Amino acid sequence: MTKKPEPILPYVIAWLVLMLLLGLSVLSAYLDLGFFHPFVNFGIAAMQAAIIFLVFMRLRGPPSLKWVFAGGGFFWLMFLYGLGVIDWVTRSGFPSQ
Amino acid sequence: MTAIAADLPTSYLTEEHTIASWLLTKDHKRIALLFFASITFFFFIGGIGAMLIRLQLLSPYGLLLQPDMYNRMFTMHGIVMVWFFLIPSIPATLGNFLIPLMIGAHDLAFPRLNLGSWYVFNLSGLFLLYTLFVGGVDTGWTFYTPYSTLFANGHVIGAAVAVFVNGFSSIMTGLNFVVTIHRLRAPGMTWMRLPLFVWAIYAVSIVMLLATPVLAMTLALVALERFMGVGVFDPALGGDPLLFQHMFWFYSHPAVYIMILPAMGVASELIACYARRPVFGYRGMAYAIMGIAVISFFVWAHHMFTAGISVYAAVVFSLMTFFVAVPSAIKVFNWTATLHKGRISFDAPMIYGLGFVGLFTIGGLTGLMLATLPVDVHVHDTYFVIAHFHYIMVGGTVSAFFGGLHFWWPKITGRRYPEMWARGAAILTFLGFNLTFFPQFILGYLGMMRRYYAYPPAFQEWNVLSSAGASILAVAYALPLFYLGWSLLWGERASANPWGATGLEWSTSSPPPKENFARTPVVKAAPYQYNPEDGSFVSQDGVAHA
Amino acid sequence: MASPMRSLAPEPQFATLEQQTETAQLGMWVFIATEVMFFGALIFTYYIYRLIYWEQFRLAAADTKILLGAINVAILLTSSLTMVLAVNAAKEGRQRALLVLLLVTAALGFCFLGVKGYEYVQDYNSSTVPSVNFLFKSGYHSPAELFWIFYFIATGFHAVHVTIGIGAILVMSWHARRGRFSPNYYSPLEVLGLYWSFVDTVWVFLFAAIYPLGRAIT
């Protein structure tokens, strides 16, 4: 049984897009984005992570059990971050310098 | 091993006899026994700590141990019991042995990883023993900063490294179980036909995988801060000691559910079999197990109500803690309903199982009391808390562990233990346990603080009762060593299914052959198909038995 | 103990080789979830402190070496590509390409460590190494040191993961050279590729956390 050779173009394109996003992230460092800074930077990082996961780590295709574990850690962190931050933001004197 | 298994047909025990065949085994059943040896060793180390604590507290004046030594003693007791006994106990021994058998597989998904987990566990044990040998640590098992990072006099880094490495063992085991249960179930073994013990081990494994890495990072930060002299928890830099507590308890609260969930799984197996009734509300029980595992991650700051967190955060976590009690209560109601109109026999495993339900209920209800903010302000850091968690971990988990050990002993060893001795030990355990820990609820409510090497003389009577109970408990825990050990050499040969239970593990010989099943079983029936009218049952491979 | 790379029969607990391959990959994804929690816990400390000390973190981050950090992102992204191409080569039986690509991946990993080491030297020279050589720049208060502590711990743990990855790649290269992989069996390479790409992903997030702050040209 001969399998069709897997095309490598998607990988190269993904790599190009990742490099582009890296450039954007570096550029954003020199812009005054104020409050939006972390959202831009982590947003770009999340996009890069998604491309790495979907293309390089071959998560493409119908959602499967792998998707659950791939996203599970990130999803679960939200509970730590979300519930944890409640303490600090509701303390008097927040934020401290 | 030869003498023990001399007259048994070829089984996983007799397959090969060399030391290498044990130390380099890939067989999950042998690895379970290896783990059993390790955790039993640490149970006794932790037990020595408990004995010294209870001896110390016979007198209000702290006559036995110096204050610093007392601190090291309760720290050692906590660290050993939590990470080196309770957390691995049921999963790494009964879980390892039974999961492939219960799902109809020939082994776990990653046998070498399983063996690796045991070696990593022992490595962490060596780090811990070294730490104890050079003087131990006095921070309490909770390693609170900045004491642990900046001011403690003991070997914090040694202890932190020991627990860090121990965490890898947990993660390796949890990973193995999760993947195995997803991928290696026999044909016909759907999720809703899994024994509740498997559900419990699955849930525990998920919790281990998600929580343990956070502990690893937290302890690494503590060790690094202690080593480098600067760190993220240092108040002088603007660091927040409460950050440590949030991160520590994000793991350590789910950790206590790691300790209780497998026990709940065992309890379901025991109660169904000895009441000859299907578990009431199987689906609810399965969902309750998963619910407990999930909600357990949302409650951690209830350990910090008086630590300095904002009152709004405290209210949120108090509410979450009330929620987590709901699935636990559902399970208690369902176990009780399972007993209703059952054909109950009081074999030793059942005594342990019933003891589990009662003691867990008391522990759980007192947990709700602690979840109530005003009550917690009064009893936090008192013996009330100590009594609460010992009711759950000792009254609950250890009882279930002993119950499971007895229940599956014929399967694991091919021998029957002497029933009367076992029943006696079970009853003695229940009595000794209550005498030890019920007075501690009273002491805590009256205001006796925990982790104190001495106390006001007015508390002495209750403390003496508690220590007396501890001596009874010690006997009760030591007894099985003797009669179970006796049974290995002289116990009656066990048949494949001496209890008439329905799981797949009972359809293979006692003890099982190395490959578990001659042919991969095909599952045709839901679990727990017991008939209380005449005690007949249908095992999961579809075979009806009278 | 027969190495699974010698024969094409699955291990006894698996029914088919395909089940074994799928299970191995699932196992690595589960492990990756634990690593997300591990690094995520560290980033939690960063997130809290950045929230309450955002001005100090801005000031401290301005002294990070963004060019070196960005070069390292590029190096790792490229190494992820070469790793994926290596797996692709194994799938098609192109043994020489497989070996070359694995070695290139390892080499890129070494480059990453080299650049990182050079960056650490630069950090030392700018006196931003807590406990070892740390001077408070103008405007720095104590929490700035918290940023730098996070920087070294995060990049340090990440470097450990890169090193382990390089070691595993070299082991795989040795096996590849001995012809152990074929179109019918290349599962260890896929699994290692998952690990390597994940280590890459961690760096992508660390870059976002560490470097782009505090340089705004107003």
How far C67 CA sits from the closest chain B CA (Å)? 26
> Is the pLDDT reported for residue B168 higher than 60?
yes
Average pLDDT over residues C135-162: 92
The 10 Å CB-count burial string (b at 16+, else e) for B251-266 is: bbbbbbbbbbbbbbbb
- Out of B238, B297, B311, name the one closest to residue A79 (CB): B297
Q: How confident is the model at residue C1 (pLDDT cuts 50, 70, 90)?
A: very low
Q: How confident is the model at residue B7 (pLDDT cuts 50, 70, 90)?
A: low
Contacts of B57 (CB under 8 A, 6+ apart): B455, B463, B466, B467
How far C142 CA sits from the closest chain B CA (Å)? 5
Domain containing C200 equals 37-210
- The predicted structure's pLDDT at residue A62: 84
| DSSP helix/strand/coil, C214 | coil
On whether residue C10 sits in a domain, the answer given is: no
What is the rounded distance in angstroms from the CA atom of residue B177 to the CA atom of residue B207?
12
Among chain B residues, the shortest Cα distance to C48 is held by: B243
Residue-wise pLDDT tens digits, C39-57? 999 999 999 999 999 889 9
What is the rounded distance in angstroms from the CA atom of residue C28 to the CA atom of residue A69?
10
How far A82 CA sits from the closest chain C CA (Å)? 10
Among chain B residues, the shortest Cα distance to A74 is held by: B210
Q: Using an 8 Å Cβ cutoff, are B342 and B276 in contact?
A: yes
On whether residue C6 sits in a domain, the answer given is: no
Q: What are phi and psi of B538, to 5 degrees?
A: -115, 120
Structure tokens at B317: 């976590």
What interface predicted TM-score (ipTM) does this complex get? 0.94
On whether residue C158 sits in a domain, the answer given is: yes
CATH number of the domain to which C131 belongs: 1.20.120.80
On whether residue C24 sits in a domain, the answer given is: no
> Is the pLDDT reported for residue B442 higher than 70?
yes
Are A52 and C80 an interchain contact pair (Cβ–Cβ within 8 Å)?
Answer: yes
Contacts of B284 (CB under 8 A, 6+ apart): B330, B334
Residue ranges per structural domain of chain A: 9-89
Q: Using an 8 Å Cβ cutoff, are B102 and B195 in contact?
A: yes
Closest CA to B397 of B368, B359, B438: B359
Residue-wise pLDDT tens digits, B270-326? 999 999 999 999 999 999 999 999 999 999 999 999 999 999 999 999 999 999 999
Are B182 and A90 an interchain contact pair (Cβ–Cβ within 8 Å)?
Answer: no
Are C27 and B109 an interchain contact pair (Cβ–Cβ within 8 Å)?
Answer: yes
Looking only at the bridges linking them, the beta strands covering B537-538 and B544-545 are antiparallel
Domain count for chain C, please give it: 1
Residue-wise pLDDT tens digits, B342-390? 999 999 999 999 999 999 999 999 999 999 999 999 999 999 999 999 9
Count of CB pairs separated by less than 8 Å, B with C: 101
Any A CB within 8 A of C47 CB: yes
Chains that touch B (3 or more CB pairs under 8 A): A, C
Residue-wise pLDDT tens digits, B476-524? 999 999 999 999 999 999 999 999 999 999 999 999 999 999 889 999 9
Q: Using an 8 Å Cβ cutoff, are B379 and B444 in contact?
A: yes
Are C204 and A45 an interchain contact pair (Cβ–Cβ within 8 Å)?
Answer: yes
On whether residue C5 sits in a domain, the answer given is: no
Any B CB within 8 A of C12 CB: yes
| DSSP helix/strand/coil, B340 | coil
Structure tokens at A26: 């570096």
On whether residue C27 sits in a domain, the answer given is: no
Domains of chain B with bracketed CATH: 19-545 (1.20.210.10)
Distance of CA B43 to the CA centre of its chain: 11
